[in-house]
Amino acid sequence: MSQLVPPHGGKGLTCCILEGAELEAEKKKAETLKKIDLAPREVGDLIMLGIGGFSPLTGFMTKADWKGTCENYMLADGTFWPIPVTLSVTKSISDDIKEGEEIALFDPQHGEIMGTMKVTEKYEVTEADKKFECEKVYMGEGTPTAEEFWKIAKDDHPGVQMVMNQGDFNLAGPVKVISEGEYPTKYAGIYMRPEESRKIFDERGWKEVAALQLRNPMHRSHEYLCKIAVEVCDGVYIHSLVGNLKAGDIPADVRVKCIDVLVKNYFVEDNVVQGGYPLDMRYAGPREALLHATFRQNYGCSKMIIGRDHAGVGDFYGMFEAQTIFDKIPYATDLEADPGKKLLCTPLKIDWTFYCYKCDGMASLRTCPHGKEDRVLLSGTMLRKMLSEGGELPDHFGRDEVVVVLREYYEGVTDKVEIKLHGAATGDDKK
């Protein structure tokens, strides 16, 4: 009997991926259907719908689900959900599709049909609707008014750009997934379905599992966060994003090598599991922290490590807004009648961490009394900037074994991308 936290939504893992004879039949049928091109973000979302990562969702959202998610963090049936999962098309494509029709969902980047969908609803998403979504989902304390937000968001926020560039209509309906793309082969042994991570955790007898979200190479601060979690939980799931990132971010295969080296040399391996998941980053800061906790619950995690500026970009969010948002969402008061609809994966809130020369070790603002001049402030953005420019890293910024892997990668990079630093990377707003 599993002791793990149950999947989100109270329905178990709702997996939409097909297998065996049913899979082969759907593949043949898909070839006869109208093909709708998916954006990279939609491909990742579709795979997560397939493998149960987005349980209890079984398809792309209706207008009622989209609006409820943006406005109240809830699907139309009252289940907690923090970020829209939608499929957009242009007006001309929408006009060519009838409600009740089945369509094939095509990944143009890899030339593959990924699944099928029965279109149960079509709805317009006007520019005003897109702005509504952006202000609800992407606007944070760093830009507290809509006027301030829109002055910079269209040019500097990749998540906002993604939403504003989407088609003007959304298609909703249940999906059948027939492919997981390149992930099972390209990231063999790392990419996992929720049922696979749960099986590993159960075999180890784990009950409380903490997830660490990674989109940057694992530096000393990440290592410290993991070790704090190992002390208070049965184990840690180092869960890396292996989908698409923004320009200048480090590819997933390089980050996986860094984790391998770090775990092998600096962890008790029995207390750590490494995995990968197929989503693109939305850079939605606090809302994305909630999404990360939601699907980590499906993977079997009861805790989500939330440090400073989780899933942030630029200075759009308050440094610890991704922690405080967990105190504002619907919990027992709104969802007591059906506890399965609540988010059960709770945050493991950890303050700004760094290496302190005077403490002679890793510390945080809660434990270290010394000043900024005594600290090596650690951030993935700072790490990428210094390495991409050929700079020397300060002592204790990263483990030597990890830095070797990263330097090898940057030596082969010819198209350099300027990496901008911000408050979360420099610590300029910290004492």
212-221, 267-276, 307-316: which range is least confident on average?
212-221
Which residues are marked as active site?
A: 215-216
Distance of CA 200 to the CA centre of its chain: 21
For the residues of 124-185, what is the DSSP string, one character each?
E--HHHHHHHHHHHT--TTS-SHHHHHHHHHHH-HHHHHHHTS-SEEEEEEEEE---TTHHH
Average pLDDT over residues 13-34: 98
Q: Name the more confident of 183 and 415.
A: 183
Give me Rg for the CA atoms of the chain.
21
What pLDDT score does 386 carry? 78
Cα distances from 141 to residues 61, 314, 318, in angstroms, run 27, 12, 5
pLDDT one-digit tens code per residue, 72-86 = 999 999 999 999 999
DSSP 429: T
Please give the model's pTM, rounded to 2 decimal places.
0.92
Beta bridge partners of 170: 88, 123
| Average confidence score pLDDT of the chain | 91
Residues listed for the chain:
431
User: What pLDDT band is residue 333 in, cutting at 50, 70 and 90?
Assistant: very low
180-431: which CATH topology?
A: Rossmann fold (3.40.50)
What pLDDT score does 431 carry? 41
Structural domain spans, the chain: 20-125+166-179, 180-431
What pLDDT score does 396 carry? 81
Tokens representing 59 are: 């398809």
User: What percent of the chain lies above the pLDDT cut of 70?
Assistant: 92
* Cα 405 to Cα 57: distance, rounded to the nearest angstrom: 38
DSSP 111: T
Question: Is residue 383 predicted with pLDDT exceeding 80?
Answer: no
Question: Is residue 13 predicted with pLDDT exceeding 80?
Answer: yes
CB within 8 Å of 323: residues ≥ 6 apart = 289, 306, 310, 347, 349
What pLDDT score does 331 carry? 56
Question: Is residue 143 predicted with pLDDT exceeding 80?
Answer: yes
Average pLDDT over residues 206-210: 98
What pLDDT score does 332 carry? 42
- Of 143, 91, 170, give the one whose Cα is nearest residue 314: 143
| Residue 416 burial (CB count, 10 A) | 11
Which three-class secondary structure state does DSSP give residue 383? helix
Tokens representing 172 are: 């909703």
* Cα 155 to Cα 162: distance, rounded to the nearest angstrom: 11
pLDDT one-digit tens code per residue, 104-113 = 999 999 999 9
Q: Name the more confident of 404 and 133.
A: 133
Number of H helices, E strands in the chain: 17, 15
Query: Which H helix or E strand runs over 93?
Result: helix 91-95
Contact 170, 236 (CB under 8 A): no
What pLDDT score does 416 carry? 58
What pLDDT score does 397 carry? 78
What pLDDT score does 425 carry? 45
Contact 223, 265 (CB under 8 A): no
Contact 96, 34 (CB under 8 A): yes
Identify the sign of the CA torsion 117, 123, 126, 131.
Answer: negative
Tokens representing 422 are: 């911000």
Beta bridge partners of 407: none
Average pLDDT over residues 400-415: 84
115-124, 337-346, 358-367: which range is least confident on average?
337-346
Cis omega (within 30 of 0) for bond into 56: yes
* Cα 292 to Cα 295: distance, rounded to the nearest angstrom: 6
Which three-class secondary structure state does DSSP give residue 355? strand
Average pLDDT over residues 27-49: 98
H-state helical runs in 31-84: 40-51, 63-72
Q: Name the more confident of 271 and 424.
A: 271
Contact 338, 162 (CB under 8 A): no
Contact 75, 11 (CB under 8 A): no
Question: Is residue 338 predicted with pLDDT exceeding 60?
Answer: yes
Cα distances from 226 to residues 18, 124, 214, in angstroms, run 35, 44, 11
The secondary structure of the chain in percent helix, strand, coil, rounded to multiples of 5, reads: 40, 20, 45
pLDDT one-digit tens code per residue, 297-311 = 999 999 999 998 999
- Of 249, 297, 86, 250, give the one whose Cα is nearest residue 171: 86
Residue corresponding to tokens 């603002």: 365
Cα distances from 373 to residues 158, 193, 366, 386, in angstroms, run 33, 44, 17, 19
Question: Is residue 293 predicted with pLDDT exceeding 90?
Answer: yes
Q: What class has domain 20-125+166-179?
A: alpha beta
Query: Which H helix or E strand runs over 275?
Result: strand 272-277
CB within 8 Å of 312: residues ≥ 6 apart = 140, 283, 285, 322, 424
Average pLDDT over residues 214-239: 92
Question: Is residue 187 predicted with pLDDT exceeding 60?
Answer: yes
* Cα 161 to Cα 168: distance, rounded to the nearest angstrom: 14
